[in-house]
Amino acid sequence: MKEPDDHDTDEGKSDRSQSSTRQSLGSSQTISRSVTKEDDKVSEDITDETLTEGEKSYLVDDDSDEEHLEGSSSSFQDDYQESTGESRYMKTPGSATEEAEEEVKKKISETFFYDYIQLVSVPYVTLDSNIPLDLLTLVHSFGYDCKKRANLQLLDGSTCMYIAGNQLILLNLKTKQQIYLRSSSSRGIGVIGVHPDKTYFTVAEKGISPDIIIYGYPSLRPYRILRDGTDLGYAYVDFNSSGTLLASVGGNPDYTLTIWNWKEEQPILRTKAFSQEVFKVTFNPEDDAQLTTSGSGHIKFWGMAQTFTGLKLQGSLGRFGKTTTTDIEGYMELPDGKVVSGSEWGNMLVWEAGLIKVELCRTGSKSCHQGPINQIMLDEGEVITAGSDGCVRIWDFETIDTADIIDDTGLLEIEPINELQVDKNVKLFSMIKMNETGNNVWLAQDSSGAIWKLDLSFSNITQDPECLFSFHSGAIEALAVSPVTYLMATTALDRSVRIYDFASKTPLTHVKFKQGGTALAWVPRLVSYTGAQIVVGFEDGVVRILELYDPKGLTIFAGRKKFLDADLHLKHVFKPHTTYITALAFERDGEILATGSKDKTVFFFEVEKDYKPIGYITTPEPVCQLMWSGVSHPDSTLLIICENNYVLEAPFPTIREEEDDHDAVSYEIKDMCIKCFHFSSVKSKIVRLIEIEKRKRRKELKEKEKEERKKRLAAEMGKDGEMESQEEEEEEEEEEKEEPLPEIFIPSTPCRILCGFYSGPGKFWLSLGGYDAGFLYHCEFPPYDKSSNITEKKDEPFDFRFLEDAEDNPIHTITFSFNQDMMFCGMQDGAIRIYLLRQDDSSLTSMEHYWHFSIHDNNYGCIKGISTSYDDRFLVTIGADSNIFVFSIFSVYELQKSMRAKVPSPRFGIETEPIPEDIEDPKAYSIENARRKREHDKLMKEVEEIKAKKREQLKSLRNQFQKLLQMNEELPKHMQFKRTVS
CB 66 within 8 A of CB 315: yes
Q: How confident is the model at residue 772 (pLDDT cuts 50, 70, 90)?
A: very high
Residue 146: closest CA among 883, 857, 886, 828: 883
- Pairing state of beta strands 355-361 and 411-413? parallel
Percent of residues, the chain, with pLDDT higher than 70: 80
Mean pLDDT of 615-635: 93
pLDDT for the residue numbered 933: 65
pLDDT for the residue numbered 409: 86
CB 255 within 8 A of CB 249: yes
Query: Could you report the per-residue pLDDT of 885-941, keeping only the tens digit for each?
Result: 999 997 644 444 443 222 223 324 434 445 333 333 434 343 334 445 666 777 888
> What does each C-alpha distance from 645 to 443, 624, 642, 765 come to in angstroms?
49, 11, 7, 13
pLDDT for the residue numbered 788: 75
- The terminus-to-terminus CA distance of the chain in angstroms comes to 91
Distance between CA 183 and CA 190 in Å, rounded? 10
Query: Is the bond preceding residue 507 a cis peptide, omega within 30 degrees?
Result: no
> What does each C-alpha distance from 804 to 58, 753, 827, 835 come to in angstroms?
42, 19, 12, 12
Residue 712: is its pLDDT beyond 50?
A: yes
Residue 622: is its pLDDT beyond 60?
A: yes
Residue 387: is its pLDDT beyond 60?
A: yes
Dihedral angle, C-alpha 455, 456, 457, 461, nearest 10 °: 40
pLDDT for the residue numbered 661: 59
Residue 25: is its pLDDT beyond 50?
A: no
Mean pLDDT of 385-392: 96
All structural domains of the chain: 476-556+574-656+666-682+747-912 (2.130.10.10)
Residue 552 DSSP label: G
Helices (H) and strands (E) in the chain, counts: 8, 62
Mean pLDDT of 506-535: 91
Query: Is the bond preceding residue 906 a cis peptide, omega within 30 degrees?
Result: no
pLDDT for the residue numbered 23: 34
pLDDT for the residue numbered 612: 86
Q: What is the average pLDDT score of the chain?
A: 82
Q: How confident is the model at residue 129 (pLDDT cuts 50, 70, 90)?
A: confident
Residue 520: is its pLDDT beyond 90?
A: yes
Opening angle at CA 201, ends 196 and 207, nearest 5: 135
Residue 528: is its pLDDT beyond 70?
A: yes
Residues contacting 177, CB < 8 A, separation 6+? 171
Query: Could you report the per-residue pLDDT of 34-82, keeping only the tens digit for each?
Result: 333 333 332 333 333 323 333 333 333 333 343 333 333 333 333 333 3
pLDDT for the residue numbered 568: 85
Query: Could you report the per-residue pLDDT of 486-500, keeping only the tens digit for each?
Result: 999 999 999 999 999
pTM summary value? 0.79
Helix (H, G, I), strand (E, B) or coil at 448: coil
Residue 263: is its pLDDT beyond 90?
A: yes
pLDDT for the residue numbered 659: 58
